Amino acid sequence: MTGLSGSGKSTIANEAARILFDAGAHAYVLDGDNLRHGLNSDLGFTDDDRAENVRRFGEVALTLADAGLIVLAPVISPFTAGRNAVRRRHHDAGVPFAEVFVATPVGECAERDPKGLYAKQKRGELVGLTGVDAPYEAPESPELVLVTSNRSVIDCAGELVSALSHLWKTPS
């Protein structure tokens, strides 16, 4: 799941994981913020570090998916090349992959601002906020575009689970 900070990626992923769990599926939310505190704590926010963050993230997601989990991976992932590389790794390993674009306008993300990043950027305390003063390349052909404006988290999560159900349901 890719989108700007504050777009709703993690919130939707957590609700989708709950829906999947209730349906008897084994799902895991691999959150970008959590990996930044551990495995990727040595990375900053340069373009190269952001690319390496996504590469490592993709490898962990691939390992978990290969073990049979449905991995919901909310991460900003600002560059098309990084997302495409993760897609190729999954494809080469025979592991399903779907790019989900959580399409929330930057203005709405700034209004939500759950981490206070947009406010810090506006005050000049933060440089390099993706989608504001650092690049974000929106997906050109994602498997799913989730438009969050004027929609509930439950509706968005339900749409996600419905769209991805072919990847995790076993044939009868």
Question: What SS3 state is found at 79?
Answer: coil
What does the mean pLDDT of the chain come to? 90
According to DSSP H, which parts of the chain are helical?
Answer: 9-22, 32-37, 47-66, 80-93, 106-112, 117-122, 153-168
Active site residues: 77
Q: How far is CA 109 from CA 66, 78, 132, 152, 157, in A?
A: 33, 15, 11, 15, 18
Q: What band does 169 get if pLDDT is binned at 50, 70 and 90?
A: low
Q: How far apart are CA 91 and CA 88, in angstroms?
A: 5
CATH class as words, domain 9-165 = alpha beta
Q: What band does 170 get if pLDDT is binned at 50, 70 and 90?
A: very low
Q: Which residue has the higher pLDDT, 10 or 32?
A: 10
Mean pLDDT of 5-21: 96
Q: Which residue has the higher pLDDT, 1 or 164?
A: 1
- Residue range 43-88, pLDDT digits in tens: 877 888 888 888 899 999 999 999 999 999 999 999 999 999 999 9
Cβ atoms of 12 and 112 closer than 8 Å: no
Look at residue 85 in the predicted model and tell me its pLDDT: 94
